[in-house]
Chains A and B, each alone.
Chain A
């Protein structure tokens, strides 16, 4: 069965500081991996995705993530956080059928 673990429920960073959100997955085959962002009361917006190829993927809003098969991880990073990045972030793993399994999310707070 596929699963996703996001170990950090809540992270607080200062504006301008770097950010790393952790994601570990369990999947029996080559995974499709995604990071989404969700603002309160809103749907999910895709930040970036990994299907194959280069293990470092670039996304929107200056985010990037690195797929590490040996560690079953897909951590999200941003070199300099902006106040508008405050939101909830979800990591997800999917397969060929398209359905995704999501982690429980990490809430990001940005201090001025």
Chain B
């Protein structure tokens, strides 16, 4: 068990470009969560999946953001037409059936929009 992994670790893009991040949860963890963390703040919930079903989306998740978990394993988070305000750390976490709601976090993807 190698923990939650995220790719890439860093992404620099120009405003208006599309970016996609990937999260690989701990194997057999059925719940997967995305959070966004800006400088000086705690992580803010974006969305979560149980298996392949997206069960909840935050109001923070504008229509430029889309997340998928097509086979109930890895997940992708896409941001279209990036804006400078999208610059943040994007964190992924997963929970297993026997984890008592303990989230295991990945190292995050740091996005910088120029």
Residues of A within 8 A of B (CB): 4, 32, 34, 36, 41-46, 49, 51, 90, 92, 94-105
Q: Across the two chains, which residue of chain B brings its CB closest to A9?
A: B40
Which residues of chain A come closer than 8 Å to B41, judged between CB atoms?
104-105
In the assembled complex, which residues on chain B have CB atoms less than 8 Å from the CB atom of A32? Answer: 100-101
Chain A residues with Cβ below 8 Å from B104 are: 46
When chains A and B are docked, how far (Å) is the Cα of A103 from the Cα of B96? 24
Q: Which residue of B lies closest to A46 (CB)?
A: B102
B28 at the interface (CB under 8 A from A): no
Check A98–B43 contact: CB distance below 8 A.
no
User: Please, which residues of chain A bring their CB within 8 A of the CB of B105?
Assistant: 36, 43-45
Total contacting residues, chain B, CB less than 8 A: 25
- B74 sits at the interface (CB 8 A): no
Inter-chain contact A51/B100, CB cutoff 8 Å: yes
A43–B108 touching, CB < 8 Å? yes
For B41, the closest partner residue in chain A by CB is: A104
Q: In the bound complex, what is the Cα–Cα distance between A78 and B61 (angstroms)? A: 37
Distance in Å from the Cβ of B69 to the closest Cβ of chain A?
14
Contact assessment for A105 and B107 in the assembled complex, using a CB-CB cutoff below 8 Å = no
When distances are taken between beta carbons in the complex, the residues of chain A under 8 Å from B108 are 42-43
Asked if A49 meets B42 with Cβ closer than 8 Å, knowing A42-B107, A97-B55, the reply is no
25 cross-chain CB contacts under 8 A? A32-B101, A43-B4, A43-B106, A44-B43, A44-B91, A44-B93, A45-B105, A49-B102, A51-B101, A90-B43, A94-B101, A94-B103, A97-B56, A98-B95, A98-B101, A98-B103, A99-B33, A99-B45, A101-B45, A102-B44, A103-B42, A104-B40, A104-B41, A105-B41, A105-B42
